[in-house]
Chains A and B, each alone.
Chain A
Amino acid sequence: MVPDNKSRIFYPRDYRHLNKPKPRSLLFLGIFVLPTLCLFLFFYPTITISLSSWGAAILRATTKTVVSIESVRFIPGLGEASFISIEGTTPSFTHSLVNAIISVFFILLSTQINRNNRPLMIYLSMGLFVHLVSSLFFLVIPDLFPYTIQDYSRLYILQQIGTWMTITVISGLATNLVLPTGGYKYAAFIVTVLFSFIFGCVRYVIYLYLLYRFTVLYMAALYFIFGVLYDFLGMIAIYAIFVRGASYRMSSNAGKGEWQW
């Protein structure tokens, strides 16, 4: 009987790496990522009609206006995307003026307070800037505003389909790249896609309601500041949770053997 085979020395973090992923790790892309992408790509008509029906029902119950479902051509040959059509309102002069003044006030305030250098403050200042531009637009040339609430609804749906597909691809690539073990990979991907899908749906209904209730003045802010960033936030948060789990595992006795030098 030979002595226990402790014939390896484990170097610290500066040299270690993992075994190259086997070709079968690409199966993850083939079995999960690609089908999910195809699901969004080829079934967006069904998805959007279901989403629009559901959202329209909620909006009918909560608003006193006509809510219908329309469709628009998206990808040639793959069908039309459906979206909610709801009557919106443009802001009055007073409304725009008040919003402009408040935006200016908060922008100036943000430059004065001692936390003005923080990321959140800069982010909010950018949001206020966008909102100020929107307010001034409605003050000066309200008739030239190029969108109605229906346009927003249409753009949102088209963008959201693109977001779901992009999140699918990015999440799939990122998890396949960094998470070495099967369980974490699949779980991270599935949770991310589900998160993005559910979030996209609920946000659609809520934002339409907000625009209906508070006018299209807020369209720019909702689009640029409270839009896609949060899909990304969620994806990264879920990713971080699973990589953390993988890190715990890789530090344990069970996972140590995966490291190579």
Chain B
Amino acid sequence: MVAIMKLYFIIMIIVMLVYMVRHIIFTYNRLYSQQRLSYRDIYDSDLPKITVLLPMHNEGRVITMLFDALLRCDYDWDKLEIIAIDDHSVDATGQIIDQYSSKYPIIRTLHRTDPDQRRGKPVALNEGMVMSTGEIMIVFDADYRPSKNLLKKLATAFNDPQVGAVMGRVIPLNASKNTLTNLLNLERTGGYQVDQQARYNMRLLPQYGGTVGAFRKSLILHGGGFDEHILAEDTELTYRFALDGWHIVYDNSAECYEEAPESWDARGKQVRRWSRGHNEVMFRYLGKTLTVNRLSFFQRIDAVLLLLVYIVPFLLGLAFLDCIALFFLGEMDILTGWWIVLFVGAFNAWGNFAPFYEIAAGALLDGMKDELLVLPAMCFSFYFYMWHISLGFFDAVVDTITQRHVEWVKTDRFFESDPDETENPM
């Protein structure tokens, strides 16, 4: 028994070191290599018809800002369609989208009000896609603020017949609100500016993130639409496309403001939901990822490591308990030195979805300065994530075993738009 516990400890050290090496490679690539050209440099007067899908549930506080931003975009309105999906809202969401729809013909509405209907983002997107006329779908969450040329940047990538989906970069607008938003800002910087871009440079597997992203409608509909039983429809799309040979592209210049959660409670629920959804995808796709022949060797490794991203904190938590048990069993001798390596490796490689040097590299590239001083606080949020991700993992295990109905819960909003300040972009 003790031998098994020690072996587990050593295996976790190796896993952590693998992630550490991965992130060092990503950091080096992003900082020092020539960056892969983005499709955004293409000038094309003949862009495809796009549909912007806006799934919403009780987003009355924020949606006017999103609508106004979209209506200011420089995409040709003859080729633009916006479908606002009111998904069982009980606030003013339905009325607001009706107001916009009556004023702007490019905005169409989909009211999902039947209480017997299944609720949730995947379902809403599926219904939105069915009624859409565009060939490319672009999805935004309600708290996003796209810039004027963002739609063009995302749509241009689909000139490439190999591209199945595009992901842009998310930047917290409320970064300086409190310590949490500061930390999230740093996380995003490491995750997008370094991690995603390096994976794009190295032709690995950038992840489609479900918002500020676009995908080919035909591909999803061809596969029966989004799986309504999976919370992380974005991760599922990533693997569905990648295993079928389609490219997921990351565009570092396609930046969009978002509202980061401002309370730890909201963040915890969000992370738990992400973990649950991601692990559901992991259970479904791990085997296929290991055996499919459409991925190169390195793509396959990266794809597997990405799939395991939301189970590793749980395994680390187990390793922590393992260490405690070994401690009380008097086995700390063997662990001396190893313990530090595990801890160091865990924080290095795992930390908070991006290790500290990756975040530092991203901050340097972004020109961040004082924001970096919050970096040590990430040591404690490591425990926070370990806890909530582990809960999400358990949720996913139960979901998979019992095939239970998954209830969609969206992240709390904190922004508030003033309806009196709605602008007319035309």
- A residues near B35, Cβ cutoff 8 Å: 14-17
Q: Which of A127-184 contact B (CB under 8 A)?
A: 130, 133-134, 137, 145-147, 155, 158-159, 161-163, 166-167, 170, 173-174, 177-178
Q: Please determine whether A17 and B32 come into contact, CB atoms closer than 8 angstroms.
A: yes
- A residues near B379, Cβ cutoff 8 Å: 229, 232-233, 236
- B residues near A244, Cβ cutoff 8 Å: 369-370, 372-373
Q: Please determine whether A123 and B253 come into contact, CB atoms closer than 8 angstroms.
A: no
Q: Please determine whether B356 and A239 come into contact, CB atoms closer than 8 angstroms.
A: yes
Query: Which label, helix, strand, loop or mixed, suits the secondary structure of the A interface?
Result: helix
Given the contacts A232-B379, A236-B375, A117 and B364 also touching, CB distance less than 8 Å: no
Contact with B along A1-43 (1 / 0, CB 8 A): 0000000000011111111110000000000000000000000
How long is the Cα–Cα vector from A261 to B343 in the complex, in angstroms?
37
Instruction: Name the segment of A56-64, A98-106, A245-253 touching the other chain.
Output: A245-253
Q: Please determine whether B340 and A174 come into contact, CB atoms closer than 8 angstroms.
A: no
B347 in contact (CB, < 8 A): yes
Given the contacts A133-B324, A166-B344, A232-B344, A159 and B369 also touching, CB distance less than 8 Å: no
How long is the Cα–Cα vector from A240 to B371 in the complex, in angstroms?
9
Q: Please determine whether A120 and B361 come into contact, CB atoms closer than 8 angstroms.
A: no
Closest chain A CB from B368 CB (angstroms): 6
B105 in contact (CB, < 8 A): no
B384 in contact (CB, < 8 A): yes
How long is the Cα–Cα vector from A16 to B367 in the complex, in angstroms?
11
A77 in contact (CB, < 8 A): no
Q: Please determine whether A123 and B368 come into contact, CB atoms closer than 8 angstroms.
A: no
Given the contacts A119-B383, A174-B356, A177-B27, A241 and B368 also touching, CB distance less than 8 Å: no
Q: Please determine whether A178 and B333 come into contact, CB atoms closer than 8 angstroms.
A: no
In the complex formed, the residue of A with least CB distance to B361 is: A178
In the complex formed, the residue of B with least CB distance to A146 is: B330
How long is the Cα–Cα vector from A119 to B182 in the complex, in angstroms?
14
Q: Please determine whether B31 and A178 come into contact, CB atoms closer than 8 angstroms.
A: yes
- A residues near B370, Cβ cutoff 8 Å: 244
How long is the Cα–Cα vector from A207 to B200 in the complex, in angstroms?
48
Given the contacts A166-B341, A247-B363, A236 and B356 also touching, CB distance less than 8 Å: yes
Q: Please determine whether B372 and A14 come into contact, CB atoms closer than 8 angstroms.
A: no
In the complex formed, the residue of B with least CB distance to A19 is: B32
In the complex formed, the residue of B with least CB distance to A161 is: B337
Closest chain A CB from B338 CB (angstroms): 8
A218 in contact (CB, < 8 A): no
- B residues near A239, Cβ cutoff 8 Å: 356-357, 360, 375
Q: Please determine whether B380 and A155 come into contact, CB atoms closer than 8 angstroms.
A: no
Given the contacts A17-B34, A243-B364, A244-B372, A123 and B383 also touching, CB distance less than 8 Å: yes
How long is the Cα–Cα vector from A45 to B301 in the complex, in angstroms?
43
Given the contacts A126-B383, A177-B361, A247-B368, A162 and B375 also touching, CB distance less than 8 Å: no
Contact with A along B248-263 (1 / 0, CB 8 A): 0000110100000000
- B residues near A241, Cβ cutoff 8 Å: 373
- B residues near A54, Cβ cutoff 8 Å: none
Q: Please determine whether B328 and A162 come into contact, CB atoms closer than 8 angstroms.
A: no
Q: Please determine whether A236 and B376 come into contact, CB atoms closer than 8 angstroms.
A: yes
How long is the Cα–Cα vector from A177 to B25 in the complex, in angstroms?
10
B279 in contact (CB, < 8 A): no
Contact with B along A85-100 (1 / 0, CB 8 A): 0000000000000000
Q: Please determine whether A232 and B343 come into contact, CB atoms closer than 8 angstroms.
A: yes
- B residues near A49, Cβ cutoff 8 Å: none
Contact with A along B164-188 (1 / 0, CB 8 A): 0000010000000000000000000
Q: Please determine whether A177 and B31 come into contact, CB atoms closer than 8 angstroms.
A: yes
Query: Which label, helix, strand, loop or mixed, suits the secondary structure of the B interface?
Result: helix
In the complex formed, the residue of B with least CB distance to A163 is: B340
Q: Please determine whether B337 and A162 come into contact, CB atoms closer than 8 angstroms.
A: yes
Closest chain A CB from B134 CB (angstroms): 26
- B residues near A122, Cβ cutoff 8 Å: 380, 383-384, 387
Q: Which of B11-64 contact A (CB under 8 A)?
A: 24, 27-28, 30-35, 38
In the complex formed, the residue of B with least CB distance to A12 is: B253
- A residues near B329, Cβ cutoff 8 Å: 146
A226 in contact (CB, < 8 A): no
Q: Please determine whether B369 and A248 come into contact, CB atoms closer than 8 angstroms.
A: yes
B268 in contact (CB, < 8 A): yes
- A residues near B360, Cβ cutoff 8 Å: 174, 178, 239-240, 243
Interface centre among B330, B372, B377 (most CB of A within 10 A): B372
Closest chain B CB from A62 CB (angstroms): 27
- A residues near B344, Cβ cutoff 8 Å: 166-167, 170, 228, 232
Closest chain A CB from B260 CB (angstroms): 15
B339 in contact (CB, < 8 A): yes
- B residues near A233, Cβ cutoff 8 Å: 376, 379
In the complex formed, the residue of B with least CB distance to A246 is: B364
Q: Please determine whether A117 and B264 come into contact, CB atoms closer than 8 angstroms.
A: yes
B132 in contact (CB, < 8 A): no
Q: Please determine whether B347 and A162 come into contact, CB atoms closer than 8 angstroms.
A: no
A109 in contact (CB, < 8 A): no
In the complex formed, the residue of B with least CB distance to A115 is: B264
How long is the Cα–Cα vector from A135 to B344 in the complex, in angstroms?
28
Query: Mind listing 10 A-B residue pairs with CB under 8 Å?
Result: A16-B365, A119-B377, A137-B328, A145-B328, A177-B357, A178-B360, A220-B324, A243-B364, A243-B372, A244-B372
Binding site for A on B (CB under 8 A): 24, 27-28, 30-35, 38, 169, 193, 197, 252-253, 255, 264-265, 268, 320, 323-324, 327-330, 332-333, 336-337, 339-341, 343-344, 347-348, 356-357, 360-361, 363-370, 372-373, 375-384, 387
Nearest 4 pairs of A and B residues by beta carbon: A146-B330, A162-B337, A14-B252, A119-B384
Q: Supply 20 further A-B pairs (C-beta < 8 A) apart from A117-B384, A220-B324.
A: A12-B253, A13-B193, A15-B252, A17-B32, A119-B381, A119-B384, A126-B320, A133-B328, A146-B328, A146-B330, A159-B336, A159-B340, A166-B341, A177-B31, A178-B360, A229-B343, A236-B379, A241-B373, A243-B372, A247-B364
